[in-house]
Chains A and B, each alone.
Chain A
Amino acid sequence: MSEVRIIDLKANVLEDNEVLAAKTRERLKNENTFLLNLMSAPGSGKTTTLTRLIETLKDEMKIAVMEADIDSDVDTKRILEAGAASVQLHTGGMCHLDADMTCQGLDSLPSKDYDLVVLENVGNLVCPAEFDTGSSKNAMILSVPEGDDKPLKYPLMFQVADAVIINKIDVMPYFDFDLEKAKKNIEMRHPGIPVFPICAKTGEGVKELADWLRSEIKNA
């Protein structure tokens, strides 16, 4: 008959993901592996920044990169040339990575063979911020052409990030980008967060970024 029974659930739909993400962080801790989740809009310079970081750190630690962004076959080559291991993650056209896909990537490396694994997330400022991947820390890149008001438009991304990289500072003179204003907007969204202005193209500022990452790995 048309009688209706109502099951009151109030169940968090992301709970599975949050549980797996917490488990992944525990696993990484046991393996002594640090997972950095790197997020940005498309073309902000994730891969270029990674090649610079790899050049700086590869003699001190074993590094692998998991490529999830589109064009990842090209990016994978650039990472291999820079001197790190690399795998491609198949996102099936998804706009973000979740803890499940991240785990599959970690298994395929396998992550225990590395000190640092970087996840190059899908180029997008909205969806990746929603899903905890299980990473030890999150970093995001804001590139100069995107504008100094980006932190106002994408509050969640700046809240989940543990560090902000401002890339392409070489083109600042050509854009109406005010570095102090950008820093102020970032600080407003996430008080106390470290900000690293860099030029991934020339390597300027990468040393400070590498120092931050090194100390995060040490203290993980």
Chain B
Amino acid sequence: MHEMSYVVRVVNLALKKCEEEDIKKVESLTVRIGQMVGVEPFYMEKYYKQAIAGTLLEGSSIRCELIPVKVRCDGCGNEYHPDAGNDYLCPQCGSGAAKLLQGREFVLEEIRASV
């Protein structure tokens, strides 16, 4: 899937921040990923190792926290997690129209630097 594309974006963003913050060595990055994005942490970690070779991030690790998809039903206001189990429909009123509350984000949460 599109893990490689996200890894490249995360690495570039982290390198830019390291330069701004004058960081020379990094222990780990933490990213928060909405489940709607559909990336697998296993592949994120695998591609991360490849992408950081030869950069100042070399030797660091990436921690992926997955954020479940949550929506608010347009029909009745109920907040629920759409999934295959409820056919992506509101379990309270059956409507499929809803506003996304969380689950699409892809955030570089923090950099843990060694000093």
Contact = CB atoms under 8 A, between A and B. Distances in A.
Contact of B21 (A7, A16, A95, A152): A7
A4 B106 CA distance: 24
A15 to B, nearest CB: 8
Closest 10 CB pairs of A and B: A188-B96, A7-B111, A13-B106, A11-B108, A5-B113, A127-B2, A5-B115, A13-B9, A3-B115, A95-B2
Contacts of B111: 6-7, 9
Interface string A53-94: 000000000000000000000000000000000000000001
22 contacts: A4-B27, A4-B114, A5-B23, A6-B110, A7-B21, A7-B110, A8-B109, A8-B110, A11-B107, A12-B106, A13-B10, A13-B13, A13-B107, A17-B9, A95-B2, A95-B5, A126-B1, A130-B2, A130-B104, A152-B87, A156-B104, A189-B96
A2 to B, nearest CB: 7
B41 interface: no
Interface string A113-142: 000000000000011001000000000000
Contact of A16 (B4, B9, B17, B107): B9
Interface of B: 1-2, 4-6, 9-10, 13, 17, 21, 23, 27, 31, 36-38, 82, 87-89, 95-97, 104-115
Interface in A39-59: none
A32 interface: no
Interface residues of A, number: 31
B110 A152 contact: no
A1 B113 CA distance: 11
Nearest to A96: B2
A126 B13 CA distance: 24
A11 B17 contact: yes
Contacts of B113: 4-7
Contacts of A10: 107-110
Contact of B115 (A4, A12, A96): A4
Contacts of B37: 130
Contacts of B21: 7
Contacts of B13: 11, 13, 16
A26 to B, nearest CB: 22
B95 A188 contact: yes
Contacts of A153: 88
Contacts of B108: 9-11, 13
Given A13-B10, A13-B31, A3 B114 contact: yes
Nearest to A151: B96
